[in-house]
Amino acid sequence: MLLNGVLDIGDSIPWLAWLDLQGYRRRMKAVAGRIDGFLERVLDEHDLKRRGEGGGGGGGKKKKDMVDVLLELADDPDLEVKMDRRRVKAFTLDMIAGGTESSAVTVEWAISELLKHPKIFTKAAEELDRVVGKDRWVEENDIPNLPYINAIVKETMRLHPVAPLLVPRMAREDVELSGYHIAKGTRVFVNVWTIGRDPNIWDAPEEFWPERFIGKDIDVKGHDFELLPFGAGRRMCPGYPLGIKVIQVSLANLLHGFKWELPSGMKREELNMDEIFGLSTPRKFPLVAVAHPRLPLHLYNNGV
Ligand code: HEM
């Protein structure tokens, strides 16, 4: 993940690329080799299982997982866009890389911001107690009734977008944009991190203040260009519907189920909020916090 976001001199000065001055390309090739080895093993295991079960269909009775379905598609000669083994691996890697770190990083930032702003914790807990009650966990269909929790999620994504520069674009033709000439072939980065902190767009942009979204029609679906944590357009995050729900439901449950505190003796001003800036922006120092149960103890025995 770190190597994904590094600034390689060869990207900016292509004729220096072959020298690999920072050694990033060598390290990327080594990591790619290890990941490929892992994915090959996963595909081999699935192939073996499919053959053992009579081949072809991934076994009629046993439950299929995503890799089984992709391998079935790879066997289909009539597919308009061919799915071969290489694509099955790429797809699987996309799901692992895109679908895990992004939600975890966002939830960790949300809890960090709330530890700095205990009043927001209290307000969130009030909403959860009123809407969900203290005798159960939060479910997906509670989410539309939790505007304050949703505002916390948006505010977290405004200040800590998972992909601060989205993924690079390339201008397919010469274009004039807001008075700038962008020549065909130019690599373009959209800096959503800066947009999220732009004082021309946001009041008190450096402040964590979820109330700014209450009653406002600003969403994260790629239509409101001031808030683009999932990107926009044809290359917008395809995992958006899943990603946003995972963040909302897990954060809501973490706030509903636990009272959060900093380790004893630590003041909130001392909580370091530095980020590692790359393709994604995790915390520089992992969050350490203490969680106290808020709900009846029997609920913790059955899981969420
Ligand atoms: C927490 C949630 C997530 C956030 C904040 C997030 C954010 C993003 C962003 C900003 C992009 C680039 C979009 C652009 O440049 O316009 C992206 C691309 C992508 N995301 Fe996500 N994502 C999340 C969850 C997921 C999940 C759950 C999956 C899959 C299960 C996923 C799969 C992908 C893939 C495959 C791409 C590349 C799309 C392409 O290049 O065409 N993401 N994501």
Verdict on whether the full-model pTM lies above 0.90: no
- Please tell me the predicted confidence (pLDDT) of residue 61: 63
| pLDDT reading at 53 higher than 90 | no
| pLDDT reading at 218 higher than 60 | yes
237 annotated as a binding-site residue: yes
| pLDDT reading at 287 higher than 70 | yes
Mutate which of 219, 230, 246, 251 for ligand 1 pocket (most atoms within 8 A of beta carbon): 230
- With bands split at pLDDT 50, 70 and 90, how would you rate the model's confidence at 52? confident
- Please tell me the predicted confidence (pLDDT) of residue 91: 92
- Please tell me the predicted confidence (pLDDT) of residue 60: 54
| pLDDT reading at 57 higher than 80 | no
Say how many Å lie between the CA of residue 96 and the centre of ligand 1. Answer: 11
Residue nearest to atom 18 of ligand 1 (CA): 237
Summarize the confidence of residues 33-49 as an average pLDDT: 95
Under 8 Å between Cβ of 123 and 144: no
Summarize the confidence of residues 10-37 as an average pLDDT: 92
Q: Is 220 in the pocket of ligand 1 (CB under 6 A)?
A: no
| pLDDT reading at 249 higher than 90 | yes
Q: Is 236 in the pocket of ligand 1 (CB under 6 A)?
A: yes
Catalogue the long-range contacts made by 200-209 (C-beta closer than 8 Å, 24 or more residues apart): 201/226, 202/158, 202/226, 208/113, 208/116, 208/117, 208/120, 208/155, 208/156, 208/159, 209/155
Classify residue 5 by its DSSP letter. Answer: G
- With bands split at pLDDT 50, 70 and 90, how would you rate the model's confidence at 59? very low
Burial 204-240 (b: 16+ CB within 10 A, else e): ebeebbbebbeeeeeebebeeeebbbbbbeeeebebe
Residues 136-152 pLDDT 10s: 999 999 999 999 999 99
Q: Is 132 in the pocket of ligand 1 (CB under 6 A)?
A: no
CA distance 25 to 300: 47
H-helix or E-strand spanning residue 66: helix 66-75
| pLDDT reading at 293 higher than 80 | yes
Q: Is 257 in the pocket of ligand 1 (CB under 6 A)?
A: no
How do strand 169-170 and strand 187-188 relate by DSSP bridges?
antiparallel
How do strand 175-177 and strand 180-182 relate by DSSP bridges?
antiparallel
| pLDDT reading at 127 higher than 60 | yes
CA distance 134 to 295: 6
- Please tell me the predicted confidence (pLDDT) of residue 3: 78
- Please tell me the predicted confidence (pLDDT) of residue 58: 46
Say how many Å lie between the CA of residue 272 and the centre of ligand 1. Answer: 27
- 96-100, 155-159, 209-213: the lowest-pLDDT one: 96-100
**For the chain, percent of residues with pLDDT exceeding 90:** 75
CA distance 242 to 236: 13
